[in-house]
């Protein structure tokens, strides 16, 4: 799988986990942190990625993930029981609701007749809506060199995470509020009332002219 589809797959996984308010964790042996790296290459991954455990040695698997040393001795590190124990250990030791684990033989050495180079066990652990623990595991035989085996494992791990993210409980949906009634259109502005016309001012009243008294004294009183 090329870088572009891997980025697309990681982005889809991020959306699925955000939708459910969930986080994930990784427990990696043969991939050495590549799955966690692919997840945290995406900006904002702290919203949905909690932590990654790189447990390359058998001692690290026991100390960090709680895998029983006797189980590793009896089954081998590259086995279904150990992959399952790694996934459940990562889930128990994190705030994640979904975890993936990888353990395999990336090569070029270390293979055997029973477990040739390219043999990888993957396991996914998650808690469903009822709180019950669910675990899936599968064995893959990838071809190519060491880099190809590790990259193919990363892609398969992300595909499995995406498939199981849909089984996580979803966040409760908030009730939708009724739509607000439409706002009536505003009334057109009205012109201010016009004042009635004002009459022109009246000219000032002047008293009538008084005729002057007659010459020769005061006028004779009427009889």
For the cut 60, the answer to whether the pLDDT of residue 218 exceeds it is: no
pLDDT digits (tens, 9 = 90+) for 40-99: 999 999 999 999 999 999 999 999 999 999 999 999 999 999 999 999 999 999 999 999
pLDDT value of residue 41: 96
Report whether pLDDT(221) > 60: no
> Which CATH superfamily, name and number, covers 3-165?
CinA-like (3.90.950.20)
- Mean pLDDT computed over 112-134: 94
User: For residue 30, which of 126, 122, 135, 116 has the smallest C-alpha distance?
Assistant: 122
Per-residue pLDDT of 177-212, as tens digits, reads 677 677 777 777 776 666 666 666 666 666 656 556
The mean pLDDT of 149-167, rounded to a whole number, is 97
Identify the pLDDT of residue 68: 98
- The residues spanned by each domain of the chain are 3-165
Cα–Cα distance list, 192 to 107, 134, 137, 177, 197 (Å) = 91, 77, 82, 42, 15
Predicted pLDDT of residue 25: 98
173 — pLDDT class (breaks 50, 70, 90): low
Residue 160: which of 142, 140, 175, 179 has the closest Cα? 140
SS3 content of the chain, % helix, strand, coil (to 5): 35, 15, 50
pLDDT digits (tens, 9 = 90+) for 1-33: 565 589 999 999 999 999 999 999 999 999 999
pLDDT at residue number 35: 98
DSSP state of 51: E
């Amino acid at each position: 799988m090329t870088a572009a589809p891997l980025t697309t797959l990681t982005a889809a996984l991020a959306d699925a986990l955000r939708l459910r308010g969930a986080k994930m964790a990784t427990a990696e042996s043969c991939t050495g942190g590549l799955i966690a790296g692919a997840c945290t290459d995406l900006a904002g991954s702290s919203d949905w990625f909690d932590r990654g455990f790189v447990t390359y040695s058998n001692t690290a698997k026991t100390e960090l993930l709680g895998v029983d040393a006797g189980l590793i001795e009896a089954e081998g590190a590259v086995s279904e029981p150990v992959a399952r124990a790694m996934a459940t250990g990562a889930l128990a030791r994190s705030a994640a609701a979904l975890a993936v684990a990888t353990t395999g033989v990336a090569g070029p050495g270390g293979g055997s007749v029973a477990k040739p180079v390219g043999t990888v066990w993957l396991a996914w652990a998650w808690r469903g809506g009822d709180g019950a623990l669910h675990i899936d595991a599968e064995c893959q035989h990838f071809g190519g060199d060491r880099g190809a085996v590790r990259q193919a494992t990363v892609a398969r791990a992300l595909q499995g995470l995406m498939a199981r993210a849909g089984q996580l409980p979803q966040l409760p949906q908030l009730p939708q509020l009724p739509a607000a009634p439409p706002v009536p259109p505003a009334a057109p502005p009205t012109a201010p009332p016009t004042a009635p016309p004002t009459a022109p001012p009246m000219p000032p009243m002047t008293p009538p002219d008084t005729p002057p008294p007659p010459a020769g004294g005061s006028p004779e009183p009427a009889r």
